[in-house]
Amino acid sequence: MNEHINFDFGRTNRTGIPEVIYAEGKEEPIVLKLLEDFALNTEHPIMFTRLSPSVFRRLSPEFQSKYSFDALAKTAYSNQIPKKVNGRVAIVSAGTSDGFVTWEAKRTLDYLNVKSEVFEDCGVSGLWRLQEKLSQINSFDIIITVAGMEAALVSVLAGLTSKPIIGVPTSIGYGVCKGGQTALNSMLACCAPGVAAVNIDNGFGAACMAYKTLLSCKGSTK
Amino acid sequence: MNEHINFDFGRTNRTGIPEVIYAEGKEEPIVLKLLEDFALNTEHPIMFTRLSPSVFRRLSPEFQSKYSFDALAKTAYSNQIPKKVNGRVAIVSAGTSDGFVTWEAKRTLDYLNVKSEVFEDCGVSGLWRLQEKLSQINSFDIIITVAGMEAALVSVLAGLTSKPIIGVPTSIGYGVCKGGQTALNSMLACCAPGVAAVNIDNGFGAACMAYKTLLSCKGSTK
Amino acid sequence: MNEHINFDFGRTNRTGIPEVIYAEGKEEPIVLKLLEDFALNTEHPIMFTRLSPSVFRRLSPEFQSKYSFDALAKTAYSNQIPKKVNGRVAIVSAGTSDGFVTWEAKRTLDYLNVKSEVFEDCGVSGLWRLQEKLSQINSFDIIITVAGMEAALVSVLAGLTSKPIIGVPTSIGYGVCKGGQTALNSMLACCAPGVAAVNIDNGFGAACMAYKTLLSCKGSTK
Amino acid sequence: MNEHINFDFGRTNRTGIPEVIYAEGKEEPIVLKLLEDFALNTEHPIMFTRLSPSVFRRLSPEFQSKYSFDALAKTAYSNQIPKKVNGRVAIVSAGTSDGFVTWEAKRTLDYLNVKSEVFEDCGVSGLWRLQEKLSQINSFDIIITVAGMEAALVSVLAGLTSKPIIGVPTSIGYGVCKGGQTALNSMLACCAPGVAAVNIDNGFGAACMAYKTLLSCKGSTK
Amino acid sequence: MNEHINFDFGRTNRTGIPEVIYAEGKEEPIVLKLLEDFALNTEHPIMFTRLSPSVFRRLSPEFQSKYSFDALAKTAYSNQIPKKVNGRVAIVSAGTSDGFVTWEAKRTLDYLNVKSEVFEDCGVSGLWRLQEKLSQINSFDIIITVAGMEAALVSVLAGLTSKPIIGVPTSIGYGVCKGGQTALNSMLACCAPGVAAVNIDNGFGAACMAYKTLLSCKGSTK
Amino acid sequence: MNEHINFDFGRTNRTGIPEVIYAEGKEEPIVLKLLEDFALNTEHPIMFTRLSPSVFRRLSPEFQSKYSFDALAKTAYSNQIPKKVNGRVAIVSAGTSDGFVTWEAKRTLDYLNVKSEVFEDCGVSGLWRLQEKLSQINSFDIIITVAGMEAALVSVLAGLTSKPIIGVPTSIGYGVCKGGQTALNSMLACCAPGVAAVNIDNGFGAACMAYKTLLSCKGSTK
Amino acid sequence: MNEHINFDFGRTNRTGIPEVIYAEGKEEPIVLKLLEDFALNTEHPIMFTRLSPSVFRRLSPEFQSKYSFDALAKTAYSNQIPKKVNGRVAIVSAGTSDGFVTWEAKRTLDYLNVKSEVFEDCGVSGLWRLQEKLSQINSFDIIITVAGMEAALVSVLAGLTSKPIIGVPTSIGYGVCKGGQTALNSMLACCAPGVAAVNIDNGFGAACMAYKTLLSCKGSTK
Amino acid sequence: MNEHINFDFGRTNRTGIPEVIYAEGKEEPIVLKLLEDFALNTEHPIMFTRLSPSVFRRLSPEFQSKYSFDALAKTAYSNQIPKKVNGRVAIVSAGTSDGFVTWEAKRTLDYLNVKSEVFEDCGVSGLWRLQEKLSQINSFDIIITVAGMEAALVSVLAGLTSKPIIGVPTSIGYGVCKGGQTALNSMLACCAPGVAAVNIDNGFGAACMAYKTLLSCKGSTK
């Protein structure tokens, strides 16, 4: 085999984030080998993202049982990080089609031992859906907002809350949605301040941003 | 001089829209000549759009007095079309920076003898501004919505009204706003149905769309 | 299952448009479940758009029989809205390749109880095809124009009619057509006024715009 | 001075096109020096394109008198090529705003000793303007079509003529016109065959294409 | 079936180009029906372009035998147009990978009864390949040049010939080639005059441009 | 005057952010009027952003004296918000050319009463510059990173810190930098997690994101 | 068969690079025929790039045995060029996902008889990985750097070495990575001098650039 | 003043390249201060790039006399680096309009004490211009090629030489040239191997790449 990976188990100390493996684009035998190796490694927590269900299911049942796997979020993790991060994150999404991103964020926060709650289907085409959950959402420390198409949810929410918003544009939509580019631009052009965005469909990245923020500002407890 | 213009005074009969001259990009002496010629022509209504105030002011006072001119909207017209179109148009804008487009739409509707009213500064970063005017806006037949940046106003309004919305994206904003392209894409990607858009900064075009719609659906009276 | 949908049956009162479900991108089991649930719900009219024939055919014959389904337009609806909207819509398309959009618009208008007629294959490469139908087209209240490639049909028609045009660019074409972006830009850049556009391939959106316009300007009858 | 130009007086033999100097972007003293040098050179015909009137007027009257200069077309040439090319070219433009390109094409054909005629202001927003000149236009061997915005004129004309069309998109228009890119894409996406395009605003290039075509297919006479 | 096509058999008289059917994007049963209908129609010449071999082979042998079919060029035609066009066309391509476009052009010219010859694999990475065929190429009336990637072949050839060049960019290449957009832009930006371009991969369009040019400038014979 | 602005003094309660006026694109007389009005208003804190020094200097000295103005950051504010936000922000910039953005962020944090410190000229072309300040930077709660060109500073810093990073791409650079789009894309594509970005040159937005985060996670003191 | 290829065995003398066949996009029977022909030709070294393993495996075992084939790098070569080039190349990659490009470069250098070594997984999210190999990397004459996403590795390395860097952007990444365009732009916008880039995923091109450089600057030995 | 610059005089040891100051975008007083400071510093060689002649001329004559300044190349340097780099660089440009880039490369090499020669106006529209200088160009170790528009010069040269080519696209051209993007893409898509490119108009970067290459591969002498 022509390759070798430099694992970075010191990363947790340096950046606060444990090793995570992005499975997409890696050849299937390599991913399976990694899944097996880490299943036997009980010392380090590990998470796989963008892990296709069809690949995961090729793993033997014993190995599968070592992981918490979610087919919609395409994530598998062996065990959570030991320390519990203070603070709570609301994940607000525009529609159920955005679910693959919404739940990647949720699952990543679970793995990172951050308390969070999901509020799905709050898109502004029916404003009442957002408004009836607003006071609840406002009780969280950080809001992750997941939206595709024109992502107007972010602008509206930013004008209604004093909480920071991490926007995750999704690739949901067609034509001028341009694979999420319009949602991303809308979030960045948002006229209400207090919004920052991550890459398209990057629920994992939004969760890490929320985690690092809470770790830095609110600390953790063993 | 190397050029000649084919005026199209039969256009009103054919398309319902009288002759309009787009002044931008035309050489100044030609525009001045046209302004003078039409000032003397009392038979046909005429409107100039994108007419720079500095050019208009180079006209002699007698000629200036023949026109209704607005420096913000950059429009001049000699007299309105004789028939009165039935129905009314609300023009809702996100911010005062969008004024040059908002008032181009308003002035065009005035010229075309369509009743309209402007509701400025209703951007969704302060949702209450839109909500307190909503029932009033809902009393109009057609809504023109003018917004730059991420244009979330259009999405929110479309979810709150049963009236058709003609969206006008503006070039207001910087960076990812891309001269209005993001606002345009947001309007077209809008998840709430009942929206159609015109070119960036094209307040004139939105007014014509509203005018043709009312003329066709509600008729006119002399 | 990680998700729940907030149905919005109050939408008809608020926006005039009943619940519509966009099936593309939703996982197949979810779509089938929704199709079955709504087949049993006789109270609310429902339409599914972008519904793949292969998914629809996986439904049991009893459930299939509850819907009017069209494979080209990829739409299924259970029953039409009860009120009849006044006014009529012409749907003019450039070519038969645009059919999947043309008929999505037609079917949506059927569902919304708006009278409409389709004029296919009127592209300007053979101008006589448009001209021989022009007086007929001009008898409608609103014109929806469906065209891909360079979409010149919209410009020509806008110069020949006093009716408002809702343009629907299609993704038909290759190379510089850029998946419909050139057709869209052409419609928005159209030098003849009285045109507004919706997203690429969005026949549904054009129909909703026409419906809201007629509902607002011409009213409805039970 | 850090530069030297390799003049290519053998080019006429090789490619049929005499030396032409593109003045834009060249520093003013260099352009003036070239204008003076060639004014004294009576042997070789020379043309300057994109030559700013303000630069040309800085030339002394004696030197100016050696050139035929046109301020709109921004071209100056000393004398025409000696041979007369057979065949005739129609130059059809959409609007007078396109004049700077239209007349660059016309002037280049004059310089190259090709007979041509200009038909301005034939945009399809008023289809009758094109139709009343159609039989005249059809009597030419090649048609150059100059149009900005959505350039629908090219598509319509291509469906009405058996003559080849060389399309010149112009940068006229704003917003989605994108400096001529939309006009260019429209021409290339044109559904009627028999059209080829040159670069945006490149009236000179279209004229050269017509010239080379006539020279090759119809020959020349001294 | 929801559709009907307006055939345009008068097109030959009007534009000189007989009916051609673009098969891509049309549903398979429709294409097969058209192939069968036209196989029985001996009066009108017909050509199908972008016709997938797998579709053509689903036709019964009797029907197949009525057509001249080429799998690389994806074209089928029943019989050529009756008149013989004067003049000859050289088709020069950069590489064999461009063959699907090169031979679409060749086959279209065959159908249109224009004499032509193909010069393949003349890309400038080996300049001698072009140079050794140059005098031969220069003996033709019009040159169609087919090239992908950076399409430098067009620039070099334009500087070496007095013949007009119709450039066809191809989608060959990866990364910055952007599906042919770079080749197209290179052709249009070509510093040597006498080049005009058609859409990416549009060998058919280039052939029609050449055909209309020869028909107009050199005429035809029965 | 054709316009009126809806001031939103309730915004502080709702979103935590006091009224801020974006001066760019507003006509000069309007900006001057606003500056004078707010200079007399001692009740509400106000900040003007993108305020051109040449406009500010047209204000009378008495009015000027009411503001803290910074010409590089183009910001003026009358007085700070009364409450003191807990926590501290590091602002790390790649080069001094990014100063207009770096100091817009710094000044906004000053206005919002957040403690912050600027670390300029830490671009990774000289990695030691970043490394020698790293432990200092790591002592802050949140890091704002300002960088143009390829913005590699963000990636490197994200791999070296456990603090959350708010990235601000700048329009510094030419050619492929595309006015900041490349810096923005680099930040969003950053392979190290814990980064979120705001619009190009939006130092103000980054500061507001940091402010809302600290307000939510660490609270404030009168 | 409609095609013929002009082999260019004189290329080695002219450009120093032997014949290489780019297999992607060529029809499978043609590629197999070429593989068989060259297997029998022992005189000329030949390399195939972008050769799909599934195609190669369709070759008979005897023919397969004539080639050195690598499935990840998708390259096959028959024998190396006879002369040995002086100097050594380091190939540094950001991650193992970039392996298909990294090893295309490595394999091309092997074929061209240039000594090289691969340093994988040195992305800057863990800076120590690069730093611990830096002195080793600095002992090579030329550095090829392979990176996708935001490609910050190139900027960091360029600030730490006096060796020239040839950057190869890869298509690894999603969303704003835009198929490698962001990595490419980052490399070209790199603020540290001494970097030049090749096309996205073009490991072959980078190897040829390194080879030509060493051949020219350090020579070769039989 | 709100800023301070971290000078990096250790850079020469680390990267081989001495301090260079990019003047564009820096405020004039800062640039003048730096020019004065370095004029007095005789220890370190310094070069300013993108230094506007109008700024330089505002310097007092005494300070001006300390620099070698070139107005076309917009560069000033105080003294050359002490060591002499082995090897020679040919700088080949397509046209005199590219001179501002060509001479920036030449001047940078002069400053870095690398022997070089400029071959201007070798664009392929007149292939003989390149061919008559080819054997001379081939005698250099590295070729820098400067070209705008479609940059075909690079492709042609790469097929004719065994020397490595560093391509510098320029922003010369209009329309589809897109400010140099088409030239850049053409260079990167070049079908002949042995080419790598730098940013648009970056003559400085190309010179640094050549310098680092020669320093690494051929060494230097005091």
CA A112 to chain centre: 10
State the pLDDT at residue B2. 34
The answer to whether the CB of G152 falls within 8 A of the CB of G120 is no
Residue B144 shares a structural domain with residue B38: no
Q: What pLDDT score does F5 carry?
A: 56
D and H in touch (3+ CB pairs within 8 angstroms): yes
* Helix residue ranges per DSSP H, B115-202: 127-131, 134-137, 152-158, 181-189
Residues of F within 8 A of G121 (CB-CB) are none
For residue F178, the chain G residues in CB contact (below 8 A) are 185
Q: Given this model, what pLDDT does residue D94 score? A: 95
How many CB pairs lie under 8 A apart between chains G and H?
Answer: 129
Predicted local confidence at residue C3, as pLDDT = 41
3-state helix, strand, coil in chain G (%, to 5): 40, 20, 40
- The confidence score (pLDDT) of residue H87 equals 97
- The answer to whether H115 touches H86, Cβ cutoff 8 Å, is no
Alpha carbon distance D127, E18 (integer Å) = 25
Q: Is A26 on the interface with G (CB under 8 A)?
A: yes
Tokens of E135: 């005098």
Top-confidence residue, H109 or B126: H109
Selected residue of B119, B174, B201 to mutate for chain F interface (largest F Cβ count, 10 A): B174
Residues of F in contact with H2 (CB under 8 A): 70, 72-73, 99, 103
Please give chain D's pLDDT, 222 residues, in tens: 334 455 666 667 778 888 899 998 888 999 999 999 999 877 788 999 999 999 999 999 999 999 999 999 999 999 888 889 999 999 999 998 999 999 999 999 999 999 999 999 999 888 888 999 999 999 999 999 999 999 999 999 999 999 999 999 999 999 999 999 999 999 999 988 999 999 999 999 999 999 999 999 999 997
Interface subset of A 149-168, CB within 8 angstroms of G: none
pLDDT the model gives residue H2: 34
Cα separations in angstroms, A110 against A68, A170, B110: 11, 21, 59
Question: Quick one: which H or E segment has residue G40?
Answer: helix G28-40
Query: Chain B contact for F9, CB < 8 A?
Result: no
Same domain? E104 vs E22: no
H126:E151 CB<8 A: no
| Interval F184-206 mean pLDDT | 96
The minimal CB distance from F199 to the residues A162, A188, A208 is found for: A188
Report residue H3's pLDDT band, with 50, 70 and 90 as the boundaries: very low
D112 in the same domain as D70: no
Q: Percent helix, strand, coil in chain E (nearest 5)?
A: 40, 20, 40
Out of E77, E93, E113, a domain closes at E77
The domain total for chain E is: 2
- Average pLDDT value for residue range G71-87: 92
Determine, yes or no, domain membership for E212. yes
> Span B49-78, mean pLDDT?
96
Q: What is the arithmetic mean of pLDDT over E148-170?
A: 96
**A5 in a structural domain:** no
Which residues, in sequence order, are bridge partners of residue H220? H85
The Cα–Cα gap between F55 and F47 comes to 15
- Residue in A with minimal Cα distance to B193: A125
Nearest CA in chain E to H185: E176
Q: For residue A19, what pLDDT is reported?
A: 84
**With 80 as the cut, is the pLDDT of residue B210 above it?**
yes
| Interface contact flag, D216 E162, Cβ < 8 Å | yes
Give first-to-last CA distance, chain H, whole Å. 41
Contact criterion met (CB below 8 Å) for A168 and A188: no
| Disruptive mutation site among F122, F155, F160 for chain G (greatest number of G CBs within 10 Å) | F155
The answer to whether position F28 is within a domain reads yes
In a domain, D35, yes or no: yes
Token digits of residue G136: 């080793």
Q: How much of chain H exceeds pLDDT 90, in percent?
A: 77
**Closest C-alpha among D213, D102, D122 to residue D167:** D102
For residues E170-174, average pLDDT: 96
Torsion angle of the four alpha carbons E73, E78, E84, E87, in this order, in degrees rounded to the nearest 10: 0
> Which residues form the domain of C27?
11-77
Question: In chain H, which residue's Cα lies nearest the Cα of G8?
Answer: H159
pLDDT over threshold 70, residue H184: yes
ipTM score here?
Answer: 0.94
pLDDT at D54: 94
Mean pLDDT of chain G: 92
- Express each pLDDT in G105-114 by its tens digit: 999 999 999 9
Please give the structure tokens belonging to residue F183.
């810096």
CATH number of the CATH domain containing H158: 3.40.50.1970
Angle (CA) C116-C118-C121 rounded to 5° is: 165
* Per-residue pLDDT tens digits for F36-55: 999 987 778 899 999 999 99
A103 in the same domain as A61: no
Per-residue pLDDT at B3 exceeds 50: no
- B88 and B135, same domain (yes or no): yes
| Domain final residue, candidates A21, A44, A77 | A77
CA atoms of H137 and H179, how far apart (whole Å): 28
**Rounded to whole angstroms, what are the CA distances from E123 to C10, E127, E154, E208, H92?**
65, 7, 9, 24, 22
Kindly state whether residue H25 falls inside one of the protein's structural domains: yes
Together in a domain, F93 and F45 = no
Q: Which portions of chain C are predicted below pLDDT 70?
A: 1-11
pLDDT score of H1: 30
Closest listed residue to residue C78, CA positions, set C9, C20, C6: C20
Query: From H103, which residue of chain D is nearest by alpha-carbon distance?
Result: D2
| Residues A128 and A162 placed together within one structural domain of the fold | yes
H36 and H125 in a common domain: no
Q: Is residue D195 part of a domain?
A: yes
CB E73 within 8 A of CB E106: yes
> Is the pLDDT at F26 greater than 90, yes or no?
no
Cα separation, F205 vs D150, in Å, equals 37
CA distance A139 to A135: 7
Q: What angle do CA A124, A125, A126 make, to 5 degrees?
A: 80
- What is the mean pLDDT of the segment spanning A16-34? 89
Question: Using the beta-carbon criterion (under 8 Å), do F150 and G185 form an inter-chain contact?
Answer: yes
| pLDDT at residue number F1 | 30
Residue labelled with tokens 């029932």: B135
Boundary residue ending a domain (C55, C77, C99): C77
Distance linking the first and last C-alpha atoms of chain C = 41
**Helical (H) or strand (E) element with H134:** helix H134-137
Q: Is E174 on the interface with G (CB under 8 A)?
A: yes
Q: Taking all residues of chain E, what is their mean pLDDT, rounded to a whole number?
A: 92
The tokens for C174 are 């290759």
Same domain, F204 and F96: yes
Same domain for E67 and E91, yes or no, is: no
What pLDDT sits at residue E1?
30
Q: Which residue of F has its CA nearest to A15?
A: F162
Same domain, G62 and G119: no
pLDDT at position A2:
34
> Residue range B86-111: average pLDDT?
96
Residue E5 lies in a domain: no
Q: Is H184 on the interface with G (CB under 8 A)?
A: yes
Q: Do both F146 and F182 map to the same domain?
A: yes
- Name the band, by pLDDT with cuts 50, 70 and 90, for residue A7: low
Residue D1 placed within a domain: no
Cα A87 to Cα A194: distance, rounded to the nearest angstrom: 18
Q: Which residue of F has its CA nearest to B130?
A: F6
pLDDT classification of G85: cutoffs 50, 70, 90: very high
Torsion sign over Cα A57, A62, A67, A68: positive
Find out whether C164 and C142 touch, Cβ atoms under 8 Å: yes
How does strand D84-85 pair with strand D220-221?
antiparallel
pLDDT score at G142: 98
Q: Among residues 189-218 of chain E, which lie with CB inside 8 Å of chain G?
A: none
Q: For residue G204, how many C-alpha atoms fall within 13 Å in the half-sphere facing its CB? A: 23
